[in-house]
Amino acid sequence: MPELPEVETVRRGLEPSMSGVKIMRADVNRQDLRWPFPERMVERLTGARVLQLRRRSKYILADLDRDETLLIHLGMSGRMTVSGDPLGQFVHEHPAQEKHDHVVFHMENGARVTFNDPRRFGAMDLIPSGAEATHPLLAKLGPEPLGNAFSEEHLVTALKDKQSPIKSALLDQHIVAGLGNIYVCEVLFRAGIHPARRASRISAARVASLVPIIREVLLEAIDAGGSSLKDFRQADGELGYFQHSFKVYGREGGACVTDNCDATIKRITQSGRSTFFCPHCQR
């Protein structure tokens, strides 16, 4: 599933073609994705102008000039790609429609934005603008890791009584929004913390040190266009490149990249997910 860097990369890629631009026509080619689409979705989107594109956790929010906000979740395999952009940001002409092109936005500037989702775990909804904090998918999310509300004090307080492993705790979207399996593995390696360590047993100083490391990893991943492992593509259809910078994720059996470390990267399963770490560098 795309994590925060991938979703932010897509949001930034969509901005030149969608922000401030009217949706001349919206094609909705099925009744649902993971859940049913909102009522009269075509009517409510057609003719609406996108005021701005925002991101909350792993969700894209498109504020419309009709006092509604379009919420978009890419799910496991969803992608949003742009073709025919008159601003010259993208080189692709409009391709032939594909089987899994479920929603298509025909923009006033000639761009076409296509939501393709083979596994249909994505979602779209229309909600009153300004009310996203009460939406069931967003209401209980923790602070944004790149925002001011995510501080050393917040993380230390949130984890001081947490009995779960630190890996699981950082994946808890109530504690911090947007982190996923890939980036938590990379963060814990940089911090030198074993993923199975109980969160409450880690000193406040070490927990506090995670905050700048989390930001560092996420910003590096955004700069690289995210990580493309299976389905993820940027808005122009290109791959992300951060997977080439992985220190531990997906590198089971590979040599640790730390100087003077002879250990190999190990993999364990935590809550049904693969965790990668160095048994020597992470304690």
- Helix axes of 204-223 and 4-18: crossing angle, nearest 10 degrees: 40
283 belongs to a structural domain? no
* Backbone region of residue 37 per phi and psi (left: phi > 0; alpha: psi in -120 to 50; beta: other values): beta
- Scanning 146-267, the segments in alpha helix (DSSP H) are 152-159, 166-171, 181-191, 204-223
d(CA 140, CA 79): 25
Q: What is the pTM of this model?
A: 0.90
pLDDT at 97: 79
pLDDT at 86: 59
> At CA 67, angle to CA 66 and CA 70, rounded to 5?
85
- Exposed (0-12), middle (13-18) or buried (19+): which is 34, by Cβ within 10 Å? middle
57 and 86 inside one domain:
yes
pLDDT at 85: 60
22 belongs to a structural domain? yes
pLDDT category at 98 given cuts 50, 70, 90 is confident
pLDDT at 94: 74
CATH of the domain at 249: 1.10.8.50
Give mean pLDDT, residues 37-64.
97
pLDDT at 120 over 60: yes
Domain count, the chain: 2
13 and 109 inside one domain:
yes
157 belongs to a structural domain? yes
Note the pLDDT tens digit of each residue in 202-245: 999 999 999 999 999 999 999 887 764 455 455 555 545 467 78
141 versus 1: the higher-pLDDT residue is: 141
Give mean pLDDT, residues 24-31.
95
Q: Does residue 182 sit in helix, strand or coil?
A: helix
pLDDT at 223: 85
pLDDT at 90: 53
103 and 157 inside one domain:
no
pLDDT at 224: 84
Indicate which residues carry an active-site annotation: 2-3, 58, 273
107 and 64 inside one domain:
yes
Sign of CA dihedral 251, 217, 135, 50: negative
Domain range spanning residue 187? 152-277
Q: Per mean pLDDT, which range of 27-31, 76-80, 108-112, 268-272 is the poorest? A: 76-80
pLDDT at 64 over 70: yes
Give mean pLDDT, residues 109-132.
93
Domain boundary among 72, 103, 134: 134
Q: Per mean pLDDT, which range of 63-72, 75-84, 107-116, 147-156 is the poorest? A: 75-84
Helix and strand numbers (H, E) in the chain are 6, 10
pLDDT at 91: 53
46 and 100 inside one domain:
yes
Note the pLDDT tens digit of each residue in 179-210: 999 999 999 999 999 999 999 999 999 999 99
Q: Please name the residues in contact with 105: beta carbons below 8 A apart, sequence gap of 6 or more.
A: 18, 23, 25, 26, 45, 112, 113, 114
Work out the mean pLDDT of the chain and round it to a whole number.
91
128 and 156 inside one domain:
no
Domain boundary among 75, 100, 134: 134
